Each structure stands twice: as structure tokens, then as C-alpha cells.
Amino acid sequence: MIVIGGSASMDLAKELATVLDCTFIPATTTAFPDGECYTRLEVEELNDDVILVQNTFPDSKIIETFLLQDAIKKLGAKSLTLVIPYFGYARQDRVFKNGEPVSANIMCKHLDLCCDRVITIDLHKESTLDSFTCAHKDLKAAPVIAEYFKTKGIDMVLSPDIGAAGRAKIVGDCMGLPYDHLCKTRISGTEVKIQPATADVKGKSVLIVDDMISTGGTIIAATAALKEAGAVKVSVACTHGVFINNALERFNGSPIDSVVCCNTLNNAVSRISVAELVAGAVKDALAGKW
Ligand code: R5P
């Protein structure tokens, strides 16, 4: 088995290779003078099962992924498993306004052209993977997040909206804690409205879990609603910390007490590793279990 790290996911790929105790090859990625992506795997051949770890975010990394898929096949890989820790465009998973594309499905269709198996982590909507014709699996980070918070004095787990209620349930169940969800209405790409919390959070230390934090609008509003309802401490955890527009810095002046995320994307608070989770799925796949 050989793990290849694309430039968007180099650290996680390296950690995965260590967990799997196998060869690690980093892609060498630069740009041509005109800005087009140039990537190369500096090996003679890849006569083995290959695992490519690469986020399809931001846009330039999608191109790099296509190029690496082609290079891997040309070097003679026996099979190619594409691990996409953070899948870009996952949230445009339907036509919201007439004339829009279903971006998530189109990404799948193109990535599908050159791979045998795909692994994602907490994809915004799991059914998006049905656009792949190859084998696919979406891994759930909730148990890993629950493990991280087991000793952190949490009393209750909440999701910021009903869409993430299942995630709060898994984390709550794993920690043996009650769980609930808030109700969110999205007003624009950067603005959300959270209804006043109905759950009894008075005097409690609450953990909010979500699949991703982008602008941070959702968790800032959710934390404000919980503090308003009497929560004494609000910790926040997500799988994908995108943190656009300096979101992490803005949390400093907000009522949020702490933020942590998984290492699907690298940032100052990506302290929860999904390497073991991915390694388990890779081993099962190569053993023919899925
Ligand atoms: C939405 O359905 C997602 O689960 C997240 O709640 C959302 O994408 C977070 O975005 P933001 O941080 O920009 O509010």
C-alpha cells in the first residue's frame, strides 16, 4: 500500500501513512509560468494499491486532484482509493434557484473518471456520493469528536439546526449525555437567524457540533442563543474548519468559549485527528469488506 499526499492534504496523508505503516509519497506541486497547475510524483512506478489524500478545496486543488489521479494510473497503480477529507462544493447539492448547477454532483462525476473507490468524511449530504459509479463511503467523525470531549466536563450536546441533529445524537450517545438541536433559518451566505433555545441549558456546559464552520455566522448566533438561555459555557466542535474571512480571529470577541475541529483542513484549532478513522476504512476496503 502507498499513500500519496496532494498539496491540500499533505499533513493528514503523512499521518495516515504512519498509521498504516506504509510508504508515503508527497506530490510535488508547483505552477507553470502561466499559472496552470504542474504536479509530479517523483517515482519510477506505483505497482501497488494507492491511496491519494487530497481536499477538493479551494478550486485549484480540484485540478491538482485530476492531474494526480491520471499520474497515479499511468505509473501502474493496482488500485486507486481517493480520500477527500474536505469535499468542496458539497453544499450546492441541489438547484436552489433556477439556472444553477448541482455543483456537488458534477464534482463527483469528474472525480469518478479515474478512481476505484472514494472515501469522504462528513459530506454535507451523504446522498451526493450516489453520483459516483465507483465504490464510496462517507465516514462519520462524530465518535472521534465525542472521544475528544469525554473528559472536558460537557453536560449537553446540541446542533445548530435540525439538519445536524443526527450528529448531536451520535456525539451525545457516545458521551452518555442528553442532546438536542436549535432551529436555524439562513438569511444569506453570511447571515443566519437562530430561534431562542427551548432546551434546558441553564447553568450547563454545552457542546455545539456541526459538520463545518465557514463564516462562523451559524455558531456565533447559536452560542448567543444558548448564553441567552443561561448556558454557562459553550464549546464548539466541527469536522471541517473552513474559517473564511478570519472567522477564527472573530471568535475571540464572541461569546464562544472554545472552538476545535478535525484535521480534514489544517488550521490553528484542528486538534482532532481522523487518521485512524480513515485508516480503518482503507484497511476494510482493501480487505474486500466494502
Ligand atoms: C449548514 O447547513 C452547515 O451545516 C453549517 O452549519 C454551515 O455551513 C456553517 O456555515 P457558516 O459558518 O458560514 O454559518
Whose Cα sits closest to atom 10 in ligand 1? Answer: 214
Give the per-residue pLDDT at 178. 97
Q: pLDDT digits over 229-268, tens only?
A: 999 999 999 999 999 999 999 999 899 999 999 999 999 9
Best residue among 182, 193, 218, 248 to mutate for probing ligand 1, ranked by most atoms within 8 Å of CB:
218
Q: Is the pLDDT of residue 51 over 90?
A: yes
| Burial letters 61-71, b for 16+ CB under 10 A, else e | bbebbbbbbeb
Give distance in angstroms: CA of 244 to centre of ligand 1: 11
* Closest-lying ligand 1 atom to the alpha carbon of residue 160: 6
Give distance in angstroms: CA of 130 to centre of ligand 1: 22
Q: pLDDT digits over 97-151, tens only?
A: 999 999 999 999 999 999 999 999 999 999 999 999 999 999 999 999 999 999 9
In which band, very low, low, confident or very high, does the pLDDT at 45 lie, cut at 50, 70 and 90? very high
* Closest-lying ligand 1 atom to the alpha carbon of residue 212: 5
Distance between CA 218 and CA 25 in Å, rounded?
Answer: 38
Distance between CA 211 and CA 171 in Å, rounded?
Answer: 12
Q: What is the mean pLDDT of residues 87-93?
A: 96
Give distance in angstroms: CA of 72 to centre of ligand 1: 34
Q: Is the pLDDT of residue 4 over 90?
A: yes
Give distance in angstroms: CA of 45 to centre of ligand 1: 42
Whose Cα sits closest to atom 5 in ligand 1? Answer: 212
* Closest-lying ligand 1 atom to the alpha carbon of residue 189: 13
Name the pTM for this structure: 0.95
> Which of the 8 DSSP states describes residue 183?
-
Active site residues: 184
Distance between CA 245 and CA 168 in Å, rounded?
Answer: 27
User: Which residues, other chains included, contact 150 with Cβ-Cβ below 8 Å and sequence gap of 6+?
Assistant: 175
Query: pLDDT averaged over the chain?
Result: 97
Distance between CA 221 and CA 156 in Å, rounded?
Answer: 18
